Amino acid sequence: MRGIIVAAGEGKRMRPITYWRPKPLVPVADAPLIGHIIRGFVAAGVTEICIVVGHLAHRMVADLGDGSAWGARFTFVTQDAPRGTADAVLRARRFLADEPFLLSWGDILVPPVHYRRVVEGLAGADGVLSLNRVEDPWEGAAVYVREGFVDRLVEKPDRGTSTTNFNNAGIFVLPAEVLEIASRLEPSPRGEYELPVAMDRLLASGARLRAIEVEGRDNWSDVARPGAALQMNGRVIQWLSDGLWIEPGASVSQGVALTPPVYLAPGVVVAAGADIGPNVSLHEGCEVCAGAQIADAVILEGCRIGAGSLVRGAYLDTGAELPPGTRLPGDLACPILLPPKA
């Protein structure tokens, strides 16, 4: 089985971060967001992966490489304008063999085991659609299920009109037939070619798509906004570790308070009296000086947090430097965002 990751969008709700960094490359725990998707594909046995790029495509290609670092082999194709999810998938049509393929949107985070569950769910079905429970699926696609299989999909239903709490979770195994259906779509009222419309027509033709729910109501995110990235940072650390994840080469002085979940990368230096956590990632080469307090934050490579500083609800991109005593009192609803050092 081959795989496709659609990672071409501008990530407008993630601005200003996405002015300088593609949304799929926003770090979460120890890897970029898309890296967790790639790991899930590989763990499910899918190592031939096509990545559909668009916004800041050169950065995506340069940072991800040929796939060998991930145990995979990448092919990149470009969607040069936002024409919708069906158009994005069709860009990879020549890459696909005439068989079912694993597909994920490039901004979805779920527990790693879910990808294997999706691939294994293909047995006895024509395809698989992942679901997550929400109060109202009006922002995504409402999914109606009957006896474990998808009955129908409604893309972007009006608020309050759905009689299901299932949302399209953005991870699928789809048969090759959906590509031919997608190639015949008319544009939606938004002027885009929508893959869920093609999937609904696939269902109408008699195809059986198994419905597999993401386990745990809080274990799914489309990482739409900076606050979601910060929140999921802590959740991913817990998925991948015991909550206190200190890489070899990180240096933590005596007298440092660490409140899980915390991730410390190689080369991180934390001085005495610092208070780190909960929900903090410190990336390679970060220095946290004496008495600094950090919570609900992602601090990227080469940042320096001055003595006695307070950082809460914040995203600091590469090389940011805070003088001693700096106070950044953000929160998950309205985080503080610092660009990379020029």
Helix, strand, or coil here: 19?
Answer: helix
Q: What is the mean pLDDT of residues 248-256?
A: 94
Q: Are residues 256 and 219 in the same domain?
A: no
83 and 193 part of one domain: yes
Q: What is the pLDDT of residue 253?
A: 95
Strands (E), 59-165: 73-78, 101-105, 127-133, 141-146, 149-155
Predicted local confidence at residue 222, as pLDDT: 87
Q: How many CB atoms lie within 10 A of CB 47?
A: 17
Domain that holds residue 275: 242-338
* Residues 141-186: tens digit of each pLDDT: 889 999 899 988 887 888 888 889 899 899 999 999 999 998 888 8
Q: CB within 8 A of 267, min separation 6: which ones?
A: 249, 250, 284, 285, 286
The last residue of a domain, from among 169, 190, 224: 224
Residues 212 and 293 in one domain: no
Residues 201 and 70 in one domain: yes
In a domain, 142, yes or no: yes
Question: Which run of H or of E encompasses 40?
Answer: helix 33-43
Q: Which helix (H) or strand (E) holds 183?
A: helix 177-183
Tokens encoding 152 = 């129908």
Same domain, 262 and 205: no
Q: In CATH, what number is assigned to the domain containing residue 49?
A: 3.90.550.10
Which of 58-72, 188-202, 265-279 shows the lowest per-residue confidence on average (mean pLDDT)?
188-202
**Which residues share a beta bridge with 202?**
none
Q: Is residue 41 classed as helix, strand or coil in its secondary structure?
A: helix
Q: Are residues 303 and 273 in the same domain?
A: yes
One-letter amino acid for residue 17 of the chain? I
Q: Which residue has the tokens 């395809």?
A: 127
| Structural domain ending residue among the three candidates 161, 192, 224 | 224
Domain match, 214 and 282 both:
no
Residues 186 and 316 in one domain: no
Domain count of the fold of the chain: 2
Q: Based on the fold, state whether residues 34 and 147 are members of the same structural domain.
A: yes
Kindly state whether residue 107 falls inside one of the protein's structural domains. Answer: yes
Domain contains 202:
yes
Condensed to tens digits (0 to 9), the pLDDT of residues 177-228 reads 999 998 888 877 777 788 888 988 999 899 999 999 998 878 898 898 999 9
Q: What tokens were used for 168? A: 């399209």
Asked whether residue 231 is assigned to any structural domain, the reply reads no
The predicted pLDDT at position 293 comes to: 97
- Show Cβ contacts of residue 91 under 8 Å, excluding neighbours closer than 6 positions: 52, 77, 78, 79
Taking the alpha carbons of 255, 261, 266, 267 in that order, is the dihedral positive or negative?
negative
Residues 26 and 159 both lie in one domain: yes
Same domain? For 193 and 51 the reply is yes
Whose structure tokens read 């059986």? 208
- List Cβ neighbours of 66 (8 Å cut-off, separation of 6 or more): 73, 74
Does one domain contain both 207 and 256?
Answer: no
What is the per-residue pLDDT for 275? 97
Query: What is this structure's pTM?
Result: 0.92
CATH number reported for the structural domain that contains residue 267 in this entry: 2.160.10.10
Considering the domain boundaries, does residue 217 fall inside one?
yes
**Residue 236 forms part of a structural domain:** no
